Structures are given as C-alpha cells and as structure tokens.
C-alpha cells in the first residue's frame, strides 16, 4: 500500500510510520489524516507487527499543526464535521489500537500534532521538541481530543494554562509534567524508541491488547474501569498466549508467543 504523505517501514516486529510532508513541517491535512488512518488499520491487521513507532520526517517537526489553509473558510457545521471525522478516522483510532503506538516526537508538536502524540500510548521526545496547543490564537480550541487528553496526562490546571495561553513547552518540562515518558538526544530518538519497542514486542500481544483496552476504560465515561479490567483479565486465561506464557515460566524458558 502506497501513500503520498505517509511512509511505512517494517523491520521484524516493529513498524515505523513517518509523516512525510517536509515542506509543510508535516502539517496535518485531511488527506494525511486519512492516509494515517489506513496505515494504522493495515498495521493492526498484520499479526507480525507488535509495536508501531510514529514520527515526522526531518529534524524540525513531528507535526507542526493542522493545515490551516484547508479550514480557514469553514462555518460551524463544517468545523464540527472536521473534528468528528478526524477523531473517528485517526485520533480515537490510534488510542484504541490493539497494537501499542510510540510517538517519537522530533521538533515541533503543535496543535493537531500534539493531539496526535497524546493519542499514542507512549511518548518519547528529542531534546529539541517543542509542544503546545496554540489554537486559541486562531480563535478556535483544540478539536482532535486535546481538551480531553491533555488534562488526563498533565492535570487540569497545567492543561488549562497550556490551552489558554497557547504557549509552548520544551521536552524537559513535558517530561516533568508527565506529557512524555523519556527525553533523548535528537539523533538517538528513533533508536531509543526501537529499543523500547523491542522490550514490548517480546511480551504477549494478546495481553498487551487487553491491557490497552483496560487502561483506556478507566478514562471512559461509558464503562467502569475496574469492571473492564476484571473482564479483560479473565479473558486472558482463554488465550494461547496465556498457556504459552505460564508454561514457559514453569519450564524456566523464554516464552514463544504465537500472536493474537
């Protein structure tokens, strides 16, 4: 499958998704959002892919924001459709993917770029990363989940300060806030993420998918998180991965998981 604005590389159990609009600092337009949605769907359906790393082309930007020229003339109805379709096609899709996604944040992650990174399960930033939600300076608010995911990650007060000022924070402040898990040298970012991905990939993909589902349930108003954990925990006992994992432990050998 070929894309115009998205590049895919698969190396063993790890897939690298690179947003490739270098001349636009990887800004998200509708085509790029659609292509990313298709790329993630394809990778989730591939049983050989255990972890996905998402990054931007070039050293300057993960995603520098949305392509403002595309929606500058929209009315209220069109704005609602833009946010709804974007969330359904990509942002919510990534958050609920069975395959874990690591955001490798290189350079600017602004607006929709930070919202995309926050939809990922884990975030790692290079030291030159700059993150923010500047939408209020354009007369709008974050529309791809930023008002919901940012408070969950950094707390209500810090989230409101970032959203209402429209300012940016650096990588170290983002780590202090809990917005990113790790900070690396720019040239080491993707390799660090690959190392993290390898640590994840050696574990049960069925259990990982269940863990993502249970954790997400704790942040949903539609289902009680503890009950979701009970259900997911019990369901793990019916999987081949559970049988292999426990057998390997008792036999004192590394597990060889058959996959989902």
> Which residues are identified as catalytic?
115, 135
130-132/168-170 β-pairing:
antiparallel
Q: How far is CA 226 from the centre of its chain?
A: 23
Q: Are 191 and 133 in contact (CB under 8 A)?
A: no
Q: In what order do the strands lie in the sheet with 182-184?
A: 6-11, 14-19, 51-56, 101-105, 122-126, 182-184
Q: Are 37 and 44 in contact (CB under 8 A)?
A: no
Q: Are 111 and 135 in contact (CB under 8 A)?
A: yes
SS3 180: coil
H-type alpha helices, the chain: 30-44, 76-86, 92-95, 112-119, 146-154, 156-165, 171-177, 189-201, 205-217, 225-236, 240-250
- Tokens 């790790």 label which residue? 182
Q: How far is CA 62 from the centre of its chain?
A: 12
Count of beta carbons in the 10 Å neighbourhood of residue 21: 22
Q: State residue 56 phi and psi, 5-degree precision.
A: -110, 155
């Amino acid at each position: 499958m070929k894309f115009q604005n998205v590049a895919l590389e698969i190396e063993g159990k790890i897939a690298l998704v690179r947003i490739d609009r270098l001349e636009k600092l990887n800004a998200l337009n509708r085509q790029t959002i659609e292509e990313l949605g298709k790329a993630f769907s394809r990778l989730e359906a591939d049983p050989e892919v255990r972890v996905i790393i998402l990054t931007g082309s070039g050293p300057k930007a993960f995603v520098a924001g949305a392509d403002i020229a595309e929606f500058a003339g929209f009315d209220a109805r069109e704005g609602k459709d833009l946010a709804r379709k974007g969330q359904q096609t990509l942002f919510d899709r990534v958050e609920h993917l069975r395959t874990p996604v690591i955001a490798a944040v290189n350079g600017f992650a602004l607006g929709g770029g930070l919202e995309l990174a926050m939809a990922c399960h884990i975030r790692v930033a290079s030291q030159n990363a700059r993150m923010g939600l500047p939408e209020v300076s354009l007369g709008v608010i974050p529309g791809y989940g930023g008002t919901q995911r940012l408070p969950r990650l950094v707390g209500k007060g810090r989230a409101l300060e970032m959203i209402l000022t429209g300012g940016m924070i650096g990588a170290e402040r983002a780590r202090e806030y809990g917005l990113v898990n790790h900070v690396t040298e720019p040239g080491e970012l993707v390799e660090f993420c690959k190392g993290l991905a390898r640590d994840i990939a050696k574990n049960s993909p069925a259990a990982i998918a269940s863990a993502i589902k249970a954790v997400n349930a704790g942040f949903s108003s539609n289902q009680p998180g503890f009950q979701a954990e009970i259900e997911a925990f019990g369901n793990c006992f019916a999987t081949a991965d559970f049988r292999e994992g426990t057998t390997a432990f008792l036999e004192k050998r590394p597990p060889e998981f058959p996959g989902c």
